[in-house]
Amino acid sequence: MKTFKSNKMRRTNLIRIALLLASASSIGVAHGTDNTAKSTIENIASSVPSVTPSIETRSHYKDAMGNFTDVDDPAIWVSPTDKSKSLVVTTLKKGGIDVYNLQGELVQFIAPAPAPACESSIAKCENKAGRFNNADIIYNFDFNGNKVDLVVVSDRGLDKMAIYTINENLTQVLQNVTAQTAPLIFTENQHEINESNTAYGLATAKTDKAMAFVSQNSETRVAQLEIFDNGNGTISYKNIANLDFPEKFTLPDNSSWTPCSDDDGEHPHFEGMVADVENNALFLAQEDVGIWKVKLSEPNNAKHWQLLAKVKDYGIPYTRTWDDAEQEYICQLNHKEDKGFGNENLIADAEGLTLYDGGNGKGYLLASSQGNNTIALFNRTTPHQYINSFTVGDGIVDGVSETDGMMVVNANLGEGFSQGVLIMQDGDNQPPKSSAAKLGVQRESTNFKYVSWQEVAKALNLPVNTHFNRN
Based on the number of CB atoms within 10 Å of its own CB, is 209 exposed (0-12), middle (13-18) or buried (19 or more)? exposed
Confidence of residue 26 (pLDDT cuts 50, 70, 90): very low
Examine the pLDDT at 7 and tell me if it is beyond 70.
no
**pLDDT tens for residues 313-337?**
999 999 999 999 989 999 999 999 9
- Going from the C-alpha of 156 to that of each of 91, 174, 362, 411, 426, the distances in angstroms are 11, 20, 33, 31, 20
Per-residue model confidence (pLDDT) at position 30: 46
The mean per-residue pLDDT over the stretch 433-449 comes to 75
Q: For the chain, how long is the longest CA-to-CA vector?
A: 65
Examine the pLDDT at 358 and tell me if it is beyond 90.
yes
- Does any domain span residue 426? yes
- Does any domain span residue 104? yes
The mean per-residue pLDDT over the stretch 363-377 comes to 97
The mean per-residue pLDDT over the stretch 28-52 comes to 66
Examine the pLDDT at 27 and tell me if it is beyond 50.
no
Per-residue model confidence (pLDDT) at position 35: 57
- Does any domain span residue 430? yes
**pLDDT tens for residues 192-243?**
999 999 999 999 999 999 999 999 999 999 999 999 999 999 999 999 999 9
386-392 vs 160-166, strand pairing mode: unpaired
Question: Considering its fold, how many domains does the chain have in total?
Answer: 1
**What residues contact 47, with CB distance under 8 A and at least 6 apart?**
none
CATH of the domain at 45: 2.120.10.30
Per-residue model confidence (pLDDT) at position 16: 43
- Does any domain span residue 122? no
Q: In this predicted model, which residue has the larger pLDDT, 88 or 14?
A: 88
- Going from the C-alpha of 116 to that of each of 23, 125, 131, 195, 217, the distances in angstroms are 50, 9, 13, 15, 20
Phi/psi for 304 (5° steps) reads -105, 10
**pLDDT tens for residues 88-140?**
999 999 999 999 999 999 999 999 999 998 876 556 788 999 999 999 999 99
> What is the pLDDT of the chain when averaged over all its residues?
90
**pLDDT tens for residues 164-187?**
999 999 999 999 999 999 999 999
- Does any domain span residue 409? yes
Beta bridge pairs of residue 108: 99
Per-residue model confidence (pLDDT) at position 438: 56
**Number of other CB atoms surrounding residue 49 within 10 Å:** 14
**pLDDT tens for residues 44-53?**
667 899 999 9
The mean per-residue pLDDT over the stretch 354-370 comes to 97
Amino acid type, 132: F
Residue range(s) defining the domain that contains residue 225: 3-115+127-460
Contact assessment for residue 227 and residue 235, using Cβ atoms and an 8 Å cutoff: yes
- Does any domain span residue 469? no
Strand order in the sheet with 146-155: 132-143, 146-155, 160-166, 174-176
- Does any domain span residue 59? yes
Per-residue model confidence (pLDDT) at position 8: 44
Q: What percent of the chain has pLDDT over 90?
A: 82
What pTM, to 2 d.p., does this model score?
0.91
- Does any domain span residue 121? no
Confidence of residue 439 (pLDDT cuts 50, 70, 90): low
